Amino acid sequence: MAQQVYDLPCDGEGTCMACKNKPTAEESLACKTCATPWHVACLSVRPNSLADTLQWDCPDCSLLSANPVPASGAGESSSSGGLIAAICAIESDSSLTEREKAKRRQQLLCKDAGPSDHKEETNGDDNLLSILDGLNCSFCMQLLERPVSTPCGHNFCLKCFTKWIGQGKRNCANCRKEIPPKMARLPLINSTLVTVIRMAKMAKANAAVGTSRDYPVIRNEDRPDKAFSTERSVKRGNANAASGKIFVTTPMDHFGPILPENDPMRNQGVLVGETWENRFECRQWGVHNPHISGIAGQSKHGAQSVTLSGGYEDDEDHGEWFLYTGSGGRDLSGNKRTNKEHSFDQEFENSNEALRLSCRRGYPVRVVRSHKEKRSSYAPEKSLRYDGIYRVEKCWRKTGIKGFKVCRYLFVRCDNAPAPWTSDVHGDRPRPLPIIEELNVAIDITERKESPSWDYDEEKGCWMWKKPPPCSRKRANNRHSEEGKRTKKVKRQAQNKSVKEKLLKAECSCYICKKVMTSPLTTPCAHNFCKSCLEGAFAGQSYVKQRTCEGRRTLRAQKNTMKCPSCSNDIAEFLQNPQVNRELMEVIESLQREIAKENEESKEEADGIHEKAEGVDVSNEIVEEAKENNLKGQIESEIQQTEKLKKTSGKCAQNRGRKKGSTSRKQLDDGNNGVDPSEPEKAVGEELQDPVAERKL
């Protein structure tokens, strides 16, 4: 975050925490504000004069009062002028991205208010931001990282705390209260605190985003012309990109050629032989929508297009006709999106069923060939190429090369324009179907019974719709359309809210009363309870009923014990003088306020949408949507991270929704219960190389 190196003071014994030496009285300097001794030699900025020495504010205290921009001592007008100048400086810094600029602006504004100043409630997030500032570790002055909480209610980074203990200290660095030996031996991460810090961070990032216009932009017209990396994408470029603008006006489930009337940009439609660099571009011209999947379609509606990319070795390309293989049947565990290996049978379901429906109805199917298809003479040398309209004449299942059943489709070309590889000047004429040998061993053969929707008109001498094309189930240009997104927006809002609420409820609830904690106590075993609940649970009782093991519902009476209701650790000593974890309390409270505020806002917004006429006040909405979408991404990734931390087995499959032990055919087939033995444990291991932390989480 900050490049600034933080200085370290002397500890309770007078030893410099930076150099580990014990400075003499002359070598140390006391802060005029907090009276903490500091080793002069280890200070990054030392006082210049004796006068300075007497009026010296330690780095911690001066950090709070003196901010480099704007000049703090200046009058109000010049202060705001300085602020404007500082913002201008940030704006004009070309080395910064929009997001970084937003971050800087946010930092600037937060700092400007200062901790002791009364903050105006101009922005509800201010409160949250200052709370986050209050969650700094007393040692390193940074936001708590892997926080551990002392029974006296103070929080430190695990690293700093361990360092402190390693120096032989056995008292709290904040209040000098004794640290229980058990905690000194094995400090446990306060996972509730981890969660609230994350949530507060999310809100903070959200606030920063609100000041800038950055991706992901929701509406189609706001998307860039090329695929773009979103902020949450770690990899730049097109590896994990989001789609660029859709240039055509056809709905996503449009059948048949892309006509000039659907091409407002060029007014020519998509012509046979047009090429694109990648799948995103192909998608942007409405030819083949999904950016990975080979088949575009819906099982109840039909398939609109396919791509031949050599992904399935059973494919067989003869140009004017080809045999296509359905999707699925492959093991995608271990976070894969594709896989050459077949490991179970394909069925006529989902997109395979969609393609079968297109076969039955005789719908026109757009075909794209990719340079990735190496075994076909008809594939382009590079890029992707639109090869025109085909019809699926038959489909069936057969045993594929790898021994598993695959869905098969006979595609025959039926386009009015000549194929890119032919010297013909005219398009296709109806032709007899090729003889397919494998049909002799095929099962589940489907042939079209009804007359095809797309057929050759002898009179007109061209291919055309003989029956009206299927009604689109999507609106025209629903991909990223404003209309579609508006409803989605409301939905998303509700989702975000419930995610936050759920998180707070799930992570910050008292084990005893099941409600979000008020005045939380953190036990030495790092569990959190309402003060009243925990004290009440043991008040005047000679024995206590409690769950013996988390996850089991058995209640067992245990005599004369004061054990943590969550983990059964002895907390008798802790209960003698339990201290509220104030920092935790404050964050929880501000998060609750935040959620309440959002509830109110979304209520207003929902009312507003009802009343609002089309297209009014869109500008504000763009920002709102960008903001929300961003938050959603953050929440998702945060939740994923939380999940990762919680389940050490979460791995990267989390994102894929593949969980250990969930049954699927592929897993049964390869007999290793779906666990890829080569799958690295990395994500969690790196994050928490500390065995202690890992144990806890």
Q: CA-CA distance, 527 to 191, in Å (whole number)?
A: 8
Minimum distance between the CB of residue 443 and DNA, rounded to whole angstroms?
Answer: 19
- By CB under 7 A, the residues from 147 to 166 that bind DNA are none
Residue with Cβ nearer DNA (79 or 350): 350
Query: Residues 284, 400: contact at Cβ < 8 Å?
Result: no
- By CB under 7 A, the residues from 62 to 91 that bind DNA are none
Minimum distance between the CB of residue 597 and DNA, rounded to whole angstroms?
Answer: 21
Q: CA-CA distance, 679 to 333, in Å (whole number)?
A: 9
Q: CA-CA distance, 188 to 167, in Å (whole number)?
A: 18
Tell me the window of 114-122, 144-152, 258-266, 327-335 that interacts with DNA (CB under 7 A). Answer: 327-335
Work out the angle at residue 234's Cα, subtended by the Cα atoms of residues 196 and 296, and round it to the nearest 5 degrees: 110
- By CB under 7 A, the residues from 165 to 224 that bind DNA are 216
Smallest CA-to-CA distance from 112 within 142, 146, 81 is with 81
Under the binding rule (CB under 7 A), the answer on residue 522 touching DNA is no
- By CB under 7 A, the residues from 286 to 325 that bind DNA are 289-301, 307-312, 315, 324-325
Q: CA-CA distance, 259 to 250, in Å (whole number)?
A: 9
- By CB under 7 A, the residues from 332 to 361 that bind DNA are 332, 334-338, 350-351, 353-354
Peptide bond into 677 cis (omega under 30): no
Minimum distance between the CB of residue 105 and DNA, rounded to whole angstroms?
Answer: 23
Residue with Cβ nearer DNA (307 or 566): 307
Minimum distance between the CB of residue 455 and DNA, rounded to whole angstroms?
Answer: 25
Using CB under 7 A, which of 15, 305, 327, 358 touches DNA?
A: 327
- By CB under 7 A, the residues from 220 to 279 that bind DNA are 230, 232-243, 252-253, 278-279
Residue with tokens 């090329």: 226
Query: Could you report how far apart the first and last alpha carbons of the chain are, in Å?
Result: 25
Minimum distance between the CB of residue 323 and DNA, rounded to whole angstroms?
Answer: 9
Query: Residues 562, 570: contact at Cβ < 8 Å?
Result: yes
Written as six digits, the tokens of 576 are 């003698």
Task: Count the neighbouring beta carbons within 10 Å of the beta carbon of residue 600.
Answer: 10
For 365-442, strand residue ranges (E) read 365-370, 384-399, 405-413
Query: Residues 537, 544: contact at Cβ < 8 Å?
Result: yes
CA atoms within 13 A on the CB side of 104: 19
Smallest CA-to-CA distance from 591 within 491, 509, 527 is with 509
- By CB under 7 A, the residues from 632 to 691 that bind DNA are 633, 637, 652, 655-659, 662, 664, 678-680, 682-683
Under the binding rule (CB under 7 A), the answer on residue 558 touching DNA is no
Minimum distance between the CB of residue 336 and DNA, rounded to whole angstroms?
Answer: 5
SS3 state of residue 488: helix
Minimum distance between the CB of residue 372 and DNA, rounded to whole angstroms?
Answer: 6
Mask 398-437, x = binds DNA (CB under 7 A)?
A: ----------------------------------------
Under the binding rule (CB under 7 A), the answer on residue 386 touching DNA is no
Under the binding rule (CB under 7 A), the answer on residue 387 touching DNA is no
SS3 state of residue 220: helix
Which is it for the CA torsion 630, 636, 641, 645, positive or negative? Answer: positive
Residue with Cβ nearer DNA (230 or 568): 230
Using CB under 7 A, which of 7, 274, 373, 628 touches DNA?
A: 373
Residue with Cβ nearer DNA (328 or 388): 328
Under the binding rule (CB under 7 A), the answer on residue 21 touching DNA is no
Minimum distance between the CB of residue 646 and DNA, rounded to whole angstroms?
Answer: 14
Residue 142 belongs to what H/E stretch?
Answer: none
Minimum distance between the CB of residue 633 and DNA, rounded to whole angstroms?
Answer: 6
In the chain, the largest separation of any two C-alpha atoms, in whole Å, equals 107
Q: CA-CA distance, 320 to 396, in Å (whole number)?
A: 20
Minimum distance between the CB of residue 411 and DNA, rounded to whole angstroms?
Answer: 11
Residue with tokens 């104030």: 582
Residue with Cβ nearer DNA (51 or 239): 239
Residue with Cβ nearer DNA (154 or 279): 279
- The number of residues that bind DNA (CB under 7 A) is 76
Mask 443-482, x = binds DNA (CB under 7 A)?
A: ------------------------------------x---
